[in-house]
Amino acid sequence: MDYEIKSTALDGLRTDCLVIGIYAGRELTLAAARADELTQGLIGKLLQKLDLDKCGDLHLLLDAPGLAAERILLLGLGPRKAYGPQIYRKAVAAAVAFLRKDPSTDLALTLAAEPCEKASPRELARDAVMATEEALYRFDACKSDKTKDAPKHPLTRLQLWLPSREVEPEAQNGLAQGRAIARAMAMAKDLANLPGNICTPSYLAEQALALGQRHEAIQVEILEEAQMRELGMGALLSVARGSRQPAKLIQMTYRGGRPGQKPVVLVGKGLTFDAGGISLKPGPGMDEMKYDMSGGASVIGALQACAELALPIDVIGLVPASENLPDGDANKPGDIVTSLSGKTIEVLNTDAEGRLILCDALTYAERFEPELVIDIATLTGACVVALGHHANGLLANQQELADSLLAAGREINDRAWQLPLWEEYQKQLDSPFADMANIGGKSAGTITAACFLSRFTEKFKWAHLDIAGTAWVSGKDKAATGRPVPLLIQFLLNQAGRTE
């Protein structure tokens, strides 16, 4: 899909379909008023006979006089009072979803020309791309007949109409950001939607290597089990012992910063299938544990975006990848393992495996002398209970970092909500036999999981994103969401100081 900014006069705008917004109560947007003039009052007359009061209501009209466009799509925006970025995104998605089934292969969107108090031209352009790609995304990699759900006339171009040249550079910047974010999200979704028998730790490693092949600025190295053993990653390896698939520690380095600049390190949980191990999970819905590598997928996607946006910082992505299955050699409740840090862990529940693979990757991150470290993980069901499916859970050992992540999430509509990482919770991890247990009892499961990780992140600024509730939607139409790729990239853009 091509994205372009157009600031030509509305009557001369060549497109298969010109999308024009209408507020509730037949109130015209800027573009609607202009189109009404050009068509000698046709729009206004038509609206008398239509109800487009709700956001996403649509009416298609052919052969409008006075306009070069082949079709006009009138698009309801709801009440003007309520109009903002959220409605804008919803409206764009509705138009694009409709046009999937229409012969138009090119559309021109006029909504970004409408005053939108809470969003800049950059953000409107960015969000147009993101909403479009979201509406067009399909996962058919495992369907034998890929033509079945495919559009007969796929969209190939979106023109974003802006009445003035002035904001064009800003909007171009937004298009580039939107494109990179949407592509990173699609990549993360593709990886996460793949089943566990295809998307194994080795598959993730291959995809990371392929990413390194595509981008000169990204170097990829895969640590094999033998190297992990040599290093002493006893926690990570103990999880992998329950599976016949070899574990991998994926290390991706993006270099865009000045020499000597400290890197941002992203650590993503790459658990390609979580059956729970000997502490086996119940059957219903267990298939969704193929999504337990979503954090890792978001890190791989984020690195791609760094390269595509040529961010002037260094970013290292680490993805510890393993399965968690109940083999005869698997961890057993009560087993004690020694982590890379030297700290010993009593594995009271083999289903709390995410923290076991993450803790060794976090200790490993020390060697990069990071500016800061963020880990991203589908870590606890408790996070879904606490925050549902809207907010990413956030815990951090430094408030400034937490605040930056909260702000980045708000900026790009991929919000996080902070939970406390107070000292008082730490004692829930006490073990009579080892330095700590891997679970902290019934209460505050998301916090005690973060407490566990905090014992391996004392040497740097660190934040933890629990994405158990946000990485995918459950049920019949289960699907990866691509979150928190937008949050990560917005954070990195801000870090690079080049949002505008």
**292 interacts with Zn ion by CB under 5 A:** yes
- What's the closest the beta carbon of residue 134 comes to ligand BES, in angstroms? 22
Bridge partners of 106, per DSSP, are: 157
CA dihedral (179, 181, 187, 188) in degrees, to 10, reads -160
Q: Which of residues 257-296 bind Mn ion (CB under 5 A)?
A: 274
Q: Which is nearer to Mn ion, 346 or 351 (CB)?
A: 351
Site string for Mn ion, 344-363 (x = CB under 5 A): -------x-x----------
Name the CA radius of gyration of the chain, rounded: 25
- What's the closest the beta carbon of residue 276 comes to Mn ion, in angstroms? 5
- What's the closest the beta carbon of residue 97 comes to ligand BES, in angstroms? 28
User: Number of residues in contact with Zn ion, rule: CB under 5 A?
Assistant: 4
- What's the closest the beta carbon of residue 375 comes to Zn ion, in angstroms? 13
**Cα–Cα distance measured from residue 298 to residue 493, given in angstroms and rounded to the nearest whole number:** 16
| Nearest residue relative to Mn ion (C-beta) | 351
**375 interacts with ligand BES by CB under 6 A:** no
Of positions 104, 177, 322, 378, contacts ligand BES by CB under 6 A: 378
Q: Out of 14, 80, 255, 281, which one is annotated catalytic?
A: 281
> 380 contacts which partner out of Zn ion, Mn ion, ligand BES, none, CB within 5 to 8 A by kind?
ligand BES
- What's the closest the beta carbon of residue 163 comes to Mn ion, in angstroms? 53
**354 interacts with Zn ion by CB under 5 A:** yes
> 382 contacts which partner out of Mn ion, ligand BES, Zn ion, none, CB within 5 to 8 A by kind?
ligand BES
User: Number of residues in contact with ligand BES, rule: CB under 6 A?
Assistant: 16
**Gap between the terminal Cα atoms of the chain:** 24
Instruction: State the pairing for strand pair 71-76/58-62.
Output: antiparallel
Of positions 38, 240, 347, 439, contacts ligand BES by CB under 6 A: 439
Q: Which is nearer to ligand BES, 94 or 387 (CB)?
A: 387
Q: Is 101 a catalytic residue?
A: no
Token pair belonging to 314: 């260094």
**274 interacts with ligand BES by CB under 6 A:** yes
Integer angstrom CA distances of residue 384 from 51, 275, 365, 414, 467: 39, 18, 28, 16, 9
Site string for ligand BES, 444-463 (x = CB under 6 A): -x------------------
Question: Which range of residues in 239-247, 354-362, 440-448, 468-476 is near Zn ion by CB under 5 A?
Answer: 354-362
**468 interacts with ligand BES by CB under 6 A:** yes
**320 interacts with Zn ion by CB under 5 A:** no
**323 interacts with Mn ion by CB under 5 A:** no
Q: Out of 89, 269, 355, 483, which one is annotated catalytic?
A: 355
Q: Is 157 a catalytic residue?
A: no
Positions in the binding site for ligand BES (CB under 6 A): 274, 292, 349, 351-354, 378-382, 384, 439, 445, 468
Positions in the binding site for Mn ion (CB under 5 A): 274, 351, 353
Residue numbers annotated as active site: 281, 355
